[in-house]
Amino acid sequence: MLSHYLPGYCRLLIIGGEPERFINLATQRNINIWNIRDLDHGVLSVEISLGSVKAVRYVAQATGCSLEIVEKRGLPIALRRFRRHKSFVFGAAFALLLLFFFSQSIVRVEIETERTLTEAEKTNILAISAEHQIKPYSFAWNIDWQAAAEDILRQTDGYSWVGYEKEGVLVRILLVEKTVSVKEDDANGNIVAKADGVIREILVYKGQKKAEVNEAVQEGDILISGFVEPAEQGTGKPYSVHPEGLVRGSVWYEATASCDLNELKPSATGETRDYIALYWQEREYLLWGTKENDFSDYEEESAVFPLGQLRLEIMRREEMAVKEGGYSKEEAKEIAIARAKAAVVTEITPGAKVVKEEVFPVFEDENTVTLRLVVETYEDMGTFIADGTEDGTGQAP
């Protein structure tokens, strides 16, 4: 497991003495032992964390056992190997530091919009951005992008939305113009909710807003209407447009799954394959290990550490072989959660961002564990539905 790999662990042989009493006494002293195997001639093979080696020696003395360390593994062991090549370590660290600063730097700022801006408009927008340190030869780690966008909206006219996009050393200022159309577009209709949820963000480009931020909506509710009525009676005639806008919000998915404690579980052989990789702008730089996989059956774990525009990933594959009988209660809960996640993933809208996961107990007895998983996502909630009428009111002409 990755939780064992990060602090480091070792494989021990327990020879002679009272091995069963050794295991019981170690457990009583909260020494975590895993992958216990009974080898020939009364020899046990176990794995423990590096930090528990000293404590386990006292247990061995108390039970008349002798210990033999077969191998040590984990991140600390890998780092010790690096120490033998200090120049390489310093060079790699310096390269990572340069990559980090390079990824956070801004060299060029561009404006992206549908229409051509005058030089005065460009200068004004770039000046507002520069007040928030969004300018060439500055760094991006302390920038309040939202405040800068709000200042542009406040100090300029004609834009319904402003956003920033950073790609490497380039920052794009994205501008969406306000549009008021009295002309019928391709199709009459409405933007409606495609799922039950709560609206967190709504921007209207064309049409009339029919829902508010933090409002709970149900599937099919109108969010942006294509039938626009004047704000005050008698100030103008209603008209129809093809509605356009952006609606994002929270949507919840859930699944229930069970695990029988008597199911057969795969056992680990002790063979692992590890690698550490750095990612920058969709490029991968392998720092340690190999990505080649020669296991036919294995379990995979990974940990990701964001570093600004960089991403460090540690991956471990553990070979699985013959099956053993029975899960513990904790193992059964993990299996049930994994099964529920697999079921939920098929329901979640592609592109949705998972923001929260909660697990609730449903049923538990001596043989079965049943859990309910609730996943909250942040996603696009609107979809266009044509109403098939000529005036966009939804009424037959």
* Residue 370 pLDDT: 93
Q: Is the pLDDT of residue 232 over 70?
A: no
Q: Is residue 324 within 8 Å of residue 265, measured between CB atoms?
A: yes
CA separation for the pair 123, 117 (Å, rounded)? 10
* Residue 390 pLDDT: 47
- The token pair that represents 120 in the structure block: 């005065």
Burial category of 116 from C-beta neighbours within 10 Å (exposed 0-12, middle 13-18, buried 19 and up):
exposed
Q: Is the pLDDT of residue 315 over 60?
A: yes
Give the torsion sign (CA, 387, 388, 392, 396): negative
Which whole-number Å values give the CA distances from 119 to 133, 155, 161, 199, 264, in the listed order? 21, 16, 20, 38, 71
Q: DSSP secondary structure string, 89-151?
A: HHHHHHHHHHHHHHHHEE-EEEEE-SSPPPHHHHHHHHHHHHHTT-STTEESTT--HHHHHHH
Site of tokens 């801004």: 106
- The token pair that represents 170 in the structure block: 């380039």
Q: How confident is the model at residue 395 (pLDDT cuts 50, 70, 90)?
A: very low
CA separation for the pair 349, 219 (Å, rounded)? 14
Q: How confident is the model at residue 49 (pLDDT cuts 50, 70, 90)?
A: confident
Chain segment 117-151, per-residue pLDDT in tens: 888 889 999 999 999 999 998 888 888 888 888 88
CA separation for the pair 19, 11 (Å, rounded)? 15
Alpha helices by DSSP H, listed for the chain, are 2-5, 19-28, 53-63, 75-83, 86-104, 119-131, 145-155, 329-345
Q: Where in the chain is the domain with CATH 3.30.70.340?
A: 2-79
* Residue 129 pLDDT: 92
- The Cβ-side half-sphere exposure at 265, using a 13 Å CA radius, reads 15
Give, as one character, the DSSP assignment of residue 262: T
Chain segment 150-167, per-residue pLDDT in tens: 888 888 877 777 888 888
Coil/strand/helix, residue 268: strand
Q: Which residues contact 1 (CB under 8 A, 6 or more apart)?
A: 301, 316, 318
Q: Is the pLDDT of residue 183 over 60?
A: no
Q: Is the pLDDT of residue 93 over 80?
A: no
CA separation for the pair 220, 157 (Å, rounded)? 34
| Angle (nearest 5°) at CA 137 between 135 and 143 | 50
| Angle (nearest 5°) at CA 116 between 113 and 117 | 90
The CATH fold assigned to 2-79 is Alpha-Beta Plaits (3.30.70)
Q: How confident is the model at residue 80 (pLDDT cuts 50, 70, 90)?
A: confident
Burial category of 239 from C-beta neighbours within 10 Å (exposed 0-12, middle 13-18, buried 19 and up):
middle
Average pLDDT, rounded, for the chain? 81
| Angle (nearest 5°) at CA 108 between 107 and 113 | 155
Q: Is the pLDDT of residue 234 over 60?
A: no
Which whole-number Å values give the CA distances from 383 to 76, 107, 176, 213, in the listed order? 51, 38, 20, 17
The predicted model gives 293-320 an average pLDDT of 78
Chain segment 257-298, per-residue pLDDT in tens: 998 888 776 777 777 888 888 887 777 888 877 777 777 777
- The token pair that represents 274 in the structure block: 């590890």
Q: Where in the chain is the domain with CATH 3.10.20.310?
A: 103-177
Tell me the CATH number of domain 103-177, given options 3.40.190.170, 3.40.50.300, 2.40.50.180, 3.10.20.310.
Answer: 3.10.20.310
